Amino acid sequence: MDSVNNTPKKKLAIGWFSFTCCEDSTILLTELLNQNLDAWKKLVDFKYIRQLKTKNDMSNLDVAFIEGAASSKKQENEMQSIRANAKYVIAIGSCAVTGLPSATRNQFVDIELNEKIQWYIKTFSYGQKVKKLDEVVKVDDYVAGCPMNVDLFKQTLDKYLKVFGII
């Protein structure tokens, strides 16, 4: 509460989303929450973080952190929906930033796309190409690394806490 006006203090409304990747940045976020939850929950409204909550809401996000690459049209559509509901989108980790290593299969030649790989692509409705995040939606910032660079993530979080006048 704002002690002057007796109104609730604004919090940064964030979502954390994960697509095709090993989710190592999500694991790091969980570890960061072990150390920072008490301080961050005063500043951040974790509206969507499927790995930690059962009731999630991705509407009206200030910032969406997206980990992973898009390996299907369904994932591309989900990323576009997140973008439509967020003022800012941050690419988290190497798969979101560069597409790799998830996009390694983009480098296969036809002879390497044997029946087994083709079976996976067809069975799971994967696209012919894995796409990094900015090939699907507008990205406002990047936190590279596999897993993400923790110091850069904290700097980026602080940046948006300032952008929205929370700190």
Per residue in 65-97, pLDDT (tens digit) is 999 999 999 999 999 999 999 999 999 999 999
Structural domain range at position 147 = 12-156
Cβ-based neighbour number of residue 11 at 10 Å: 18
Model confidence at 8, in pLDDT bands (50, 70, 90)?
low
The verdict on residue 4 lying in a domain is: no
The verdict on residue 101 lying in a domain is: yes
Q: How far apart are CA 2 and CA 10, in angstroms?
A: 9
Q: Which amino acid is located at 114 in the chain? A: N
The verdict on residue 7 lying in a domain is: no
Which is nearest to 139 in space by CA: 76, 84, 90? 90
The verdict on residue 43 lying in a domain is: yes
- pTM, two decimals, is 0.90
Model confidence at 1, in pLDDT bands (50, 70, 90)?
very low
CATH number of 129's domain: 3.40.50.700
**Looking at the 3D structure of the chain, how many domains does it have?**
1
The verdict on residue 162 lying in a domain is: no
The verdict on residue 6 lying in a domain is: no
Quick one: pLDDT at residue 119?
Answer: 81
The verdict on residue 48 lying in a domain is: yes
The verdict on residue 1 lying in a domain is: no
